[in-house]
Structure 1
């Protein structure tokens, strides 16, 4: 009897080991899914999708952007075929997947961060703070034994001469496109002339502070949209505008906001509704103009639009566009009609950031902003619609 019990326990142990080996990948997949805050049903769908996609390592969904993008594409395609695109549960799952993909991309971006000023490339725009004198604009013109920057200017004027900078401790702020904002303290060790232009020489440092205020991932685009000024105290988020609004051009976009070009001089602190389509699907974003960059030479403004409300399905559609995730059917249609036919025309425009006037929302009180609403509308409606613009324009420092 005792021997039979031992044999039974041994048999159970052997079966358990075999089952564990057989389902080891699946068990680890589900454990990782729970750790990543997905529900059991969502993890089951992800597992099935990984099998359909033929992924050799299903766990790669939790760390590989290409694998995750492929998985999202398959789920979107399946939902479209089953007519469940508008299903609440499906949209919640897509929101989680997009959020997780953003997390993976942000983590990868953190690892790409620079640790020394020696790695900065020429051309980066700087904001330099000199104690007692204020904020100055400059840019990197060379990076060798010292960091060579153009003479800092205030409002386009040289208010502090080169020799007066020598020996001064300064704080430097810069935004590196596609990376993050960097802040560092250094000392001006000399002044001189570089290729005929007055410059300062800064001491290199390894102490960089890297910050990323915005966690949303943006992508460049050229999408025409209609703007509507919000004047109602109670906003109807379900209303679709049928009248034409003020035409504008979206130059980059994320689920949390956009860079918008308009004709005329824009005003910050204005509440706006922006309506447009992506891949034939209606998108409505509600938000506020946080910052305005005005270029008087071409009489156009770039609005830093912050989204405060967007429906989940529309948000997921934007994220699909940002991450270039399309179902097989959408991809076929997209390949028939390329989106960059006007890219050559866009290069004809001059750099917008020259002679620009940047206005912050915080500099204008609420009373003034509300009073300027009609003026803002007049300037938009009274200006010819902007053409395709330079999609390669670098972000103005601080445009996070």
Structure 2
């Protein structure tokens, strides 16, 4: 029993590297320094000392765990505002006292939950405003000015520093993946396995605050599934399943020639290569059909009779999504399903050596299934 209790105090391992620790430390140092100097310039040293504590706590979140839900811009701006409002209400009702400060902290938490801006330093902001009788309280509603100035300056520092050091901030909201054919079907990856409703139900089961965005949580789970699948499937690489005898065109190939090749060999896409066998584009039947050459004529047959020699370089897609010969089959699955690609060019030392088609992928998955069943 005692051993179990003591083990709960043992720190969990960090999944970050020392380089990230140093980056966060430098960023927090710079953010707090700039914020305090600006606040001191406008409002003096005494007032700045009363408000600098929450700024230090916010800096930990904005620079060390900037992907967390508690560190997003609305969290810091909204929390500082509602916490200040809660403190003013508490002072108006109960004056400057520790019970009043406690009430302000509780009210601030409730308000942050309502307005979806939960940010722990907001509680400290409420305490600072209530317990400062000489510098903050006399300001009345004007106390919002230094408080929101601190929030804005620190947020600005985080936006600049994090992005300059390779950390995307704020965390972008990822829209749910749409069905590529623009139908009412849910995406293929959600038909088997967990989907958005399952994730919502799991979060409801937890019933507690989780400092991770919903998008991050889904990304972590899907990444875990990918690594587990990669482990179970062994070392199946693109070079093992790709088609090597691949028809291709050049930028100077005409649409008429491309259509003839696609129709004769019953294929849907045609890689476009330069003289050095480097892929410079890709063309599909859909691209040709959508092109004015086809729409001004009578379907695909009209392309053959079109007088102007439109070249593939005029309609090809570039740049092209490619993989190397060592790419694992698990990396190919989302490319050929989520993104709706019919084939993926395979490169070796930047030279085109083949393609992996949806048919190639299905055959490989079928073979792997047979092996596991036996």
Sort the TM-score into its range (normalised by shorter chain). Answer: under 0.3
- TM-score if structure 1 supplies the norm length? 0.21
- TM-score if structure 2 supplies the norm length? 0.22
Larger Rg: 2
Of Structure 1 and Structure 2, the greater helix share is in 2
Of Structure 1 and Structure 2, the greater strand share is in 1
